[in-house]
Amino acid sequence: MSTRTKVAVIGSGNIGTDLMIKVLRLSGSLEMAAMAGIDPESDGLARARRLKVATTHEGVDGLVALDEFADVRIVFDATSAGAHRRHDEVLRALGRTVVDLTPAAIGPYVVPPVNLDAHLDSSNVNMVTCGGQATIPVVAAVSAVTPVHYGEIVASIASRSAGPGTRANIDEFTETTASAIEQVGGAGRGKAIIVLNPAEPPLIMRDTVHCLVSECDDAAVTASIEAMVERVQTYVPGYRLKQKVQFDRIADDDPLRTLVPADARRGAVKVSVFLEVEGAAHYLPAYAGNLDIMTSAALRTAERLAAHRPMEAAK
């Protein structure tokens, strides 16, 4: 009898399919039991069938009706913020744990190397956004050394890696990411910007993080950021710094000073971090690091949830 925790995926698009492949190929503690979608002709459902994974094209209602669902303990939702609200209601009533890859933010924000251990007993955890997963670890690393008065991130992704779900959730992306920069990253104020780059050939995901801080120890901040990058690389190998961390002292006449509280402006510094995220290409192309970091973070989260509750049975 398998001792692995059975999981299901709702959403047969790019993110859901990549997540299924990761569970099947990479996880020693999770077992892929079922995939639910709403398009019977989707590539994701076709792949799942070929891989002997139970499928349904009737969404969450079809999922809970499958015999295989009886033993499922964790469900990944890779659909949309709007759809997730109902999915959460249905799954919560059935006692399942939900890992939410949409920007719905019904459950607490989780970024694995920053705050996962604080939410292992939650019934629903939210994976923020791709930009959040890439940049919030850096904001948290800076705030671990010195207060971050303002944190701004710019996520630049290949237009071809932004499918219908991503495009439908653009507003939620900016709002959810900005909120998580504050709540998880520790910034006093957060802002998020996303850029869909139409360049051909498609460019690998790039992220820029700016943190406004009071006078700081440059070496200590750099060491904290580099240590955090190494932690993210344990589950996203293609996550890396593109250049050294930059420190710019903010001049008295620089408008950025207005984003720093008046009593903290003396010696104010802008810390800039430039990141690149290359995908593992399990299902998605390598340039789609924005999608890969989401599925990788969700996989790491589910594995920790399962390990935290090894004897728990599905209700």
Percent of the chain clearing pLDDT 70 (strictly above): 97
The pLDDT tens digits of the residues spanning 24-48 come to 999 999 999 999 999 999 999 999 9
Q: What is the pLDDT of residue 2?
A: 65
Q: What is the pLDDT of residue 314?
A: 45
16 belongs to an annotated ligand binding site: no
290 belongs to an annotated ligand binding site: yes
Lowest mean pLDDT among 149-158, 172-181, 232-241: 172-181
pLDDT mean over 218-239 = 98
Catalytic, 130? Answer yes
Query: Would you say residue 273 has pLDDT above 80?
Result: yes
Taking alpha carbons only, the member of 26, 14, 4 closest to residue 236 is 26
164 belongs to an annotated ligand binding site: yes
Taking alpha carbons only, the member of 186, 292, 162 closest to residue 233 is 292
238 belongs to an annotated ligand binding site: no
Q: What is the pLDDT of residue 173?
A: 87
Catalytic residue among 23, 130, 192, 225: 130
Instruction: Assess if CATH 3.40.50.2000 describes domain 5-127+294-308.
Output: no
Q: What is the distance, to the nearest Å, from the Cα of residue 124 to the centroid of all Cα atoms in its chain? A: 14
Q: What is the CA radius of gyration of the chain?
A: 20
Residue 288 makes CB contacts below 8 A (sequence gap 6+) with: 14, 157, 158, 160, 161, 202, 205, 279
Percent of the chain clearing pLDDT 90 (strictly above): 88
Q: What is the pLDDT of residue 315?
A: 43
Give this prediction's pTM.
0.94
126 belongs to an annotated ligand binding site: no
Task: Sketch the domain layout of the chain as residue ranges.
Answer: 5-127+294-308, 130-286
Other Cβ atoms less than 10 A from the Cβ of 45: the count is 22
3-state class of 245 per DSSP? coil
108 belongs to an annotated ligand binding site: no
Type of residue found at 284: L
The full DSSP string for 141-185 is HHHTTS-EEEEEEEEEEEGGG--HHHHHTHHHHHHHHHHHHHHTT
Query: What average pLDDT does the chain have?
Result: 94
CATH of domain 130-286: 3.30.360.10
Query: Would you say residue 168 has pLDDT above 80?
Result: no
163 belongs to an annotated ligand binding site: yes
